[in-house]
Copies of this chain bind each other. A is one copy, B any other.
Amino acid sequence: MDQAKIRPIPEPSLRRLPAYLFYLRRMLAGGRDVISCPHIARDLHLDPTLVRKDLEATGMIGKPKVGYPIPQLVGTIEEFLGLHNTRDAFLVGAGHLGAALIGYEGFREIGLNVVAAFDADPAKVGGQLRGISVLPMDKLIELAQRMAVHIGIVTVPAAAAQSVADAMVTGGIRAIWNFAPTHLRVPESVVLEEVQLSSSLAVLSSRLNKMLAPE
């Protein structure tokens, strides 16, 4: 089972996999062994054809009129998401957003483990963020190298974000998850995933304007 490396999955399908995984684990915990596409689609408010396509992209084929064996389907999705190796992460910016992410449901469930937080504010350094130690920024590079941490989470203000990312890259971090409201520049050898909340809000606001316009 090494499909993740040989078979590319479309990004929209990939983005839906965690929702399937959380759902299927709940079904399994509830004692269910087999589940059909229309059943999954109904419970998750998705189109059944879309669900079939998503699951087929992982290499799983359901049996007609029967469905998917849940334990295998869970294993295949976990494989795809790389959950066999839990990954350690550093979080920089020990504020509310950092605290929210450390406590986010499904965060550990999907294999991410925040091992240390960093902050430039001396008042925060030495304290804890939901049980995680807050360390000074000048320890970031050395610790990332020593602990071979591969994932860095950026939850600092926009103005500080690029210099934090630069330090992460210097420390050998290979994937940056950016929540600061600015785009970052990283070398090609580093994965960058940005969550731009303002963009999401722009879409919401623009759709709402259209919805309210005819009234």
Determine whether the beta carbon of B150 is less than 8 Å from that of A201. Answer: no
Contact B105 A196 (CB under 8 A): no
Task: Decide yes or no whether A209 CB sits under 8 A from chain B.
Answer: yes
With CB as the reference atom, state the residue of chain B lying closest to A201.
B110
Could you tell me the distance between the alpha carbons of A139 and B166 in the complex, rounded to whole angstroms? 47
User: Would you call A82 and B206 a contact (CB within 8 A)?
Assistant: yes
The stretch among A30-38, A67-75, A93-101, A116-124 that forms the contact with chain B is A93-101
Known contacts A175-B207, A203-B14, A205-B87: does B81 contact A197 (CB below 8 Å)? no
A62 interface residue, CB < 8 Å from B?
no
By the criterion CB–CB under 8 Å, are A206 and B81 in contact?
Answer: yes
* CB-contact partner of A200 in B111, B177, B210, under 8 A: B177
A208 proximity list for chain B (CB < 8 A): 82, 87, 150-151, 174-175, 191
Chain B residue nearest in CB terms to A101 = B197
A17 CB-CB contact with B under 8 Å: yes
Docked-complex contact B11 and A111, CB < 8 angstroms? no
Residues of A in contact with B, size category: 35 or more
Chain B contacts for A202, CB-based, 8 A: 14-15, 17-18, 81, 110
A189 at the interface (CB under 8 A from B): yes
Contacts beyond the supplied A19-B196, A19-B198: 19 A-B pairs with Cβ under 8 Å: A9-B206, A14-B202, A16-B199, A17-B202, A18-B198, A18-B199, A18-B202, A45-B184, A46-B183, A82-B205, A96-B130, A104-B197, A105-B180, A106-B197, A107-B201, A150-B212, A174-B212, A175-B205, A193-B201
